[in-house]
Each structure stands twice: as C-alpha cells, then as structure tokens.
C-alpha cells in the first residue's frame, strides 16, 4: 500500500513496574501498521498482551504500574507516547476510539446511555447539550437500536447484552474516529448477536472509512473480518500477513496450532479437537529463546537458546521462527 498508515506502532514495549526489581515486560518489540478502511486482527491466547497493546495506544495502561517502556505509537505520523496528557485526551474518543469486551461492565450503570454517548461529543466537539443528545439519538439509530428515542433515556441495566455493545459502538463512533480499537467486542455475546455486531462494525467502517484494529482469539472472527492478521504469543508478534497468507500458509507452529484447534464442519464428530499442549509461560518466567519453544513439537536446540527474528517469507508475510528464512534448517 502506497498510502501512509493512519496508525503505526513501532517497536512498542509494555512493562510493569515491580518495586525495586527490574520491570516485567508484558509486550515486547511490537510493530504494526493499519491503513484507512483496513481491518487488522490481532490474534492470540488470553494473556498474550493483545489488550495491553491496544490500551497502550491510548495510554490507558493500568495505573500506576503499567507503562510504555519503549517504542512509538504514530497517529498520522505524530508520536502519541510523548504528547501531553491533555493532547492524548483530545485523541481518545475522537481520533482513536475503543470498544471493550464486556458491554455489561463497560458502561456506567448510573448514567443514561444517551448521556454517556452525548458526553463524548460534548467533550470533543463542544456542541450544546441538546445538539450532543441529538447526535446520541442519531448514533443509536445508526447502530440499529430499536426505539432509539426511548432507549436514549434508559440505563444500561435496562438493555440486553447485544444492545449494550451497540451502545458502546455508538459511543465509540460518535465523533467519527479514524481508528477503532475493538478489544474482543463479541466475546461476551451470544453467537447470533456476535454476527450482528461484526456486521455492524463492518458496515460502519465502510461508511466512515475508519481503520479497525480488532483483537480476538476467535479465528472465525478473523476469517470474517480481517484484511491483515497479526498473531501474538507471550507478548511478541510471531507471525503477520494478509488474511490469505495466514490462512493459506500458516507458518509459525503456534499459528498452525491455533488453526488446528479450530473446530471444522465435517471434521469428524466425536473426534477430540486438537489442542496446543502446555500453557503460556508466566511473564517473569519466559524462556531465553523462542517463548513458544517449550510447547513446540518442532523445537530444536537453537529455539531454546536464541529468540528467532522476524523474517519475510512472502509478499507481506513475516514470521519469527527458526524453521523459516535464514534460520531455516539446512
């Protein structure tokens, strides 16, 4: 793509202070770009650092221990890691919005949904309260909430889970952001509602041209939504490519493991699903070499000793595994 990326994350490191001990690194050397109208899916198991990556873009890491240790986050070329608190606030909810996993707990229970949407508009666009409420109503219509006039004045507990997530989306898109970070937006919802929410995000993306970073552990969602896919394991990127590259030729053993763990129609009923043996290593107990080596069937001595670099193996396809590129076994 010739066009400049809207959002570029460069060599980001997220770490947690631990008193006097050296900080624990939760995400290391994370880089990716996302362009206007494009959807990038970040995939990985729980605890691999997907959400932290997203939160660090908006500098919303859990306080007071979480912090960005290194790297840059460029929004249209401007580094968000160094701007003032007031400047990052002006970006949050306006240029970059975020949707969270739990619509049940992510909306304020004591404020009406209309007020919660209108507030974002008021803070960023300084319109009169009435105009902000009008925008909130319009947003509820856009996210296809039935009877929006009534819902506007209701509280989150009066809405269903799917409707609450629609409210979250309405809130996130109220100021027409250029980037939407969606952190597992459908995980907490029924399967039928999931499809509706994904359709909605896609439709609104087409309308507004927003770049979407969709975090998920569900490869079904990836296949449905992504143009590009980034696979994370234990805080690092292990593979990245277009959705075709990743699905046609998954190259990291971890990516292949994720694919194999996906249930298939006609895959033989009653057959056990494949799983990746072992668990993700704890943050402070990561092995010196490739973090996946202890769980990897193909691991060789080098994998345990030295972390593999990212190498390009196709058009836009990169992978961090000794089995590929210069490090490939002879």
Binding site for other proteins (CB under 8 A): 58, 60, 64, 89-94, 97-98, 100, 102, 105-111, 119-120, 123-124, 155, 157, 168, 171
Q: Compare residues 136 and 234 and give the one whose CB is closer to other proteins.
A: 136
Q: Which is nearer to other proteins, 155 or 247 (CB)?
A: 155
Q: Which is nearer to other proteins, 124 or 166 (CB)?
A: 124
Minimum CB distance to other proteins smaller for 101 or for 318: 101
Q: Report, in Å, the least distance between residue 208 CB and other proteins.
A: 17
Phi and psi, residue 318, nearest 5°: -125, 155
Closest approach of Cβ 93 to other proteins, in Å?
4
Shortest CB 155 distance to other proteins, Å: 5
Instruction: Give the residue with the Cβ less far from other proteins, 121 or 291.
Output: 121
Query: Token match 């793509």: residue?
Result: 1
Burial 91-110 (b: 16+ CB within 10 A, else e): bbbbbbbbbbbbbeebbeee
Nearer to other proteins, 92 or 295 (CB): 92
- Closest separation in Å from C-beta 55 to other proteins: 8
- Residue showing tokens 């049940």: 104
φ, ψ (nearest 5 deg) of residue 79: -80, 115
Nearest to 237 by CA among 327, 320, 296, 311: 320
- For residues 162 and 253, which CB has a smaller minimum distance to other proteins in the complex? 162
**Where do the H-state alpha helices sit in the chain?**
50-57, 85-91, 103-106, 113-125, 129-142, 148-151, 161-173, 191-208, 219-225, 243-248, 253-260, 301-305
Q: How far is the CB of 57 from other proteins (least distance, A)?
A: 10
Rounded Cα distance between 253 and 242, Å, is 17
Beta carbons within 8 Å of 204's beta carbon, 6+ residues apart: 142, 143, 169, 173, 210
Minimum CB–partner distance for residue 308 and other proteins (Å): 35
Per the listing, tokens 């690092």 go with 236
C-alpha 323/C-alpha 194 separation (Å) is: 37
Smallest distance, Å, CB 114 to other proteins?
13
């Amino acid at each position: 793509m010739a066009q400049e990326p809207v959002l570029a994350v460069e060599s980001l490191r997220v770490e947690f202070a631990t008193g006097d001990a050296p900080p624990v690194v939760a995400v290391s050397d994370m880089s990716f770009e996302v362009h206007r109208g494009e959807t990038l899916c970040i995939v990985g198991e729980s605890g691999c650092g997907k959400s932290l990556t997203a939160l660090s873009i908006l500098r919303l890491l859990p306080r007071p221990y979480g912090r960005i240790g290194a790297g840059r986050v460029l929004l249209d070329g401007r580094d968000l890691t160094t701007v003032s608190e007031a400047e990052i606030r002006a970006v949050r909810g306006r240029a970059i919005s975020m949707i969270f996993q739990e619509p049940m707990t992510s909306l304020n229970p004591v404020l009406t949904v209309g007020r919660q949407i209108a507030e974002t508009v008021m803070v960023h666009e300084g319109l009169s309260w009435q105009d902000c409420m009008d925008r909130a109503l319009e947003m509820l219509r856009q996210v296809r909430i039935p009877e929006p006039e009534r819902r506007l004045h209701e509280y989150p507990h009066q809405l269903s889970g799917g409707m609450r997530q629609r409210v979250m989306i309405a809130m996130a898109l109220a100021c027409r952001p250029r980037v939407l970070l969606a952190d597992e937006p459908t995980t907490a919802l029924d399967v039928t509602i999931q499809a509706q929410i994904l359709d909605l995000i896609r439709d609104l993306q087409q309308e507004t041209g927003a770049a979407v970073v969709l975090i998920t552990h569900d490869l079904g969602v990836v296949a449905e939504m992504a143009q590009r896919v980034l696979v994370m394991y234990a805080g690092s990127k292990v593979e990245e490519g277009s959705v075709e590259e990743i699905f046609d030729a998954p190259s990291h053993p971890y990516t292949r493991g994720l694919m194999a763990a996906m249930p298939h129609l006609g895959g033989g009923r009653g057959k056990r699903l494949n799983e990746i043996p072992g668990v993700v290593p704890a943050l402070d107990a990561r092995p010196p070499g490739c973090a996946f080596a202890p769980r990897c069937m193909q691991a060789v001595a080098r994998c345990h000793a030295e972390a593999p670099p990212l190498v390009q193996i196709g058009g836009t396809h990169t992978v961090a595994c000794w089995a590929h590129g210069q490090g490939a076994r002879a």
